[in-house]
């Protein structure tokens, strides 16, 4: 499909392909894996529509970047959005809402058997989703592609973590997020969005988890961090802000964050790590957070440090009527892809 020689980056963006670029998954170097799933979200739903919304909004992006020449020539395409998983997720989301309401209302014993059956069904299907994501990721990696996953809620990238671990070996995970996501099977969901990092830590190749921007967490998560023997390092939003108020620069803080990372880095970006003004419809918004350029500066410094970004994901983008959330999500995705490519020598970062 690619006809990049005749592609004019100054023209109107065409709908139908990611960013309006003339690539399909065969001709692209970077494949975006969409996972439209938000079954276990504990607050607001809608992130299952994130991949489609980002795809639709992406054609509005202008391609040029100050520090990367001709990034549109890289070759980026989104795989087909799996309608089977979207439909199943919609059905299960209705059941999970019923189950969560039962928990929040005190767990009536008369309904326990029915609710436990719902929980078992959801746990079974979310495990199957994880296997699907892992298989898809392994396939694209085996084809020589660089991969980035777009959810969906933050439970979706577990299979992608596993595939990257198998393909690349030992790595560190840089998590940008409002939440620690270190719960143990939150609400009984074995693959809850609130348990993604607990599950990630079961991957033996994951040597370090570095969390940035965390501002909503529980005692259980604090204890896990404290008892991790340095495997989990958390830069809390409050701590970062207070140090900035006292005069420390974001550049210095980025250096401190990056020092904790090994040579190979995977970046997991929950959009709620940003200030909610940039993602007002995300599933679990929390006051505080980053501007988008702060996050991209951090990722750029990871690249400039000589580390390799082996994979990424972007999650929890929930569309709005005015397309704002998807617009921000599409711009975050474009920049992440280009920086990841630069870390692998596929683009040149100035």
Annotated binding site: 154, 177, 179, 181, 270, 272
Helices (H), the chain: 50-57, 83-104, 112-142, 158-168, 196-200, 219-226, 237-245, 250-259, 292-304, 324-343
CB atoms within 10 A of CB 173: 26
Q: Which residue, 51, 53, 55, 50, is CA-closest to 21?
A: 55
Which residues are documented as binding site for Mn(2+)?
Answer: 154, 177, 179, 181, 270, 272
CA distance 289 to 272: 8
265 burial level (CB within 10 Å; 0-12, 13-18, 19+):
buried
Question: For the stretch 131-141, what's the b/e string if a residue is b when 16 or more beta carbons lie within 10 angstroms of its beta carbon?
Answer: ebbbebbbebb
Q: Which residue, 294, 256, 339, 259, is CA-closest to 71?
A: 339
Helices 50-57, 324-343: inter-axial angle, 10-degree rounding = 80
Decide the pairing of beta strands 308-315 and 206-214. Answer: unpaired
Q: What are phi and psi of 194, to 5 degrees?
A: -85, 0
C-alpha to C-alpha distances, 103 to 107, 116, 186, nearest whole angstrom? 5, 11, 12
């Amino acid at each position: 499909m690619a006809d990049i020689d005749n592609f004019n980056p100054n023209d109107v963006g065409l709908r139908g392909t990611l960013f309006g670029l003339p690539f399909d998954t065969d001709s692209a170097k970077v494949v975006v894996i969409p996972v439209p799933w938000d079954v276990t979200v504990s607050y607001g739903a809608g992130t299952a529509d994130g991949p489609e919304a980002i795809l639709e909004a992406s054609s509005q992006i202008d391609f040029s970047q100050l520090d990367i020449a001709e990034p549109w020539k890289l070759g980026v395409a989104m795989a087909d959005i799996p309608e089977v998983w979207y439909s199943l997720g919609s059905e299960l989301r209705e059941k999970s809402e019923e189950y969560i309401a039962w928990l929040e209302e005190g767990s009536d014993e008369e309904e326990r058997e029915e609710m436990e059956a719902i929980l078992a069904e959801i746990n079974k299907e979310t495990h199957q989703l994880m296997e699907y994501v892992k298989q898809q990721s392994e396939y694209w990696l085996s084809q020589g592609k660089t991969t980035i996953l777009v959810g969906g809620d933050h439970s979706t990238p577990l299979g992608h973590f596993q595939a990257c671990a198998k393909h690349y070996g030992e790595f560190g995970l840089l998590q940008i997020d409002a939440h620690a996501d270190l719960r143990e099977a939150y609400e009984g969901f074995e693959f809850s969005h609130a348990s993604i990092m607990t599950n990630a830590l079961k991957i033996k190749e994951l040597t370090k988890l570095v969390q940035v921007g965390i501002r909503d967490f529980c005692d259980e998560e604090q204890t896990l961090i404290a008892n991790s023997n340095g495997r989990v390092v958390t830069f809390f939003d409050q701590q970062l802000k207070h140090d900035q108020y006292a005069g420390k620069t974001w550049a210095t803080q980025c250096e401190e964050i990056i020092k904790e990372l090994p040579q190979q880095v995977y970046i997991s970006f929950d959009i709620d790590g940003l200030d909610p003004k940039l993602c007002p419809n995300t599933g679990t918004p929390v006051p505080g957070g980053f501007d988008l350029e702060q996050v991209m500066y951090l990722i750029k410094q990871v690249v400039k440090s000589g580390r390799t970004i082996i994979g990424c994901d972007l999650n929890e983008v929930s569309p709005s009527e005015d397309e704002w959330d998807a617009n921000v999500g599409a711009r975050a995705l474009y920049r992440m892809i280009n920086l990841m490519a630069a870390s692998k020598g596929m683009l040149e970062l100035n």
